[in-house]
Amino acid sequence: MKRTSMVLSLCLSLTLGFAAVGSAADGKALYEKCAGCHGADGAKKALGIGKPIKGMSEADLTTALNGYKAKNYGGEKKAMMERQAEKLSAEDISALAGFISKL
């Protein structure tokens, strides 16, 4: 009986551990789709346009991504980002903004 509960609590802590790692890794995994244009560390000007996203605050990144998703943000090449952002959920956007702001 004691053994069972030990095994159970071990399983539970492993599951919780994985869940935590999973959500922390989300932004990183999502960013893989962005790195081609923005660079692995966000320092590249995407297609030579605008400013690098590295150094943007979490709040600015959230505004930008929500804006592209809502199609009311951006510059000349915003259609490109609108296509990227329309697939992102609110959760994805917050994970990405958190991750990119720390690059």
Residues lying near ligand HEC in the complex (CB under 6 A) are found at: 33-34, 36-38, 46-47, 49-51, 53, 61, 64-65, 74-78, 80-81, 84, 96
Nearest to 73 by CA among 63, 87, 58, 83: 63
Nearer to ligand HEC, 81 or 94 (CB): 81
Q: What's the closest the beta carbon of residue 83 comes to ligand HEC, in angstroms?
A: 8
Q: What's the closest the beta carbon of residue 20 comes to ligand HEC, in angstroms?
A: 22
Nearer to ligand HEC, 94 or 96 (CB): 96
| Phi-psi category of residue 88: left, alpha or beta, with phi > 0 → left and psi -120 to 50 → alpha | beta
Token pair 């329309």 is found at 86
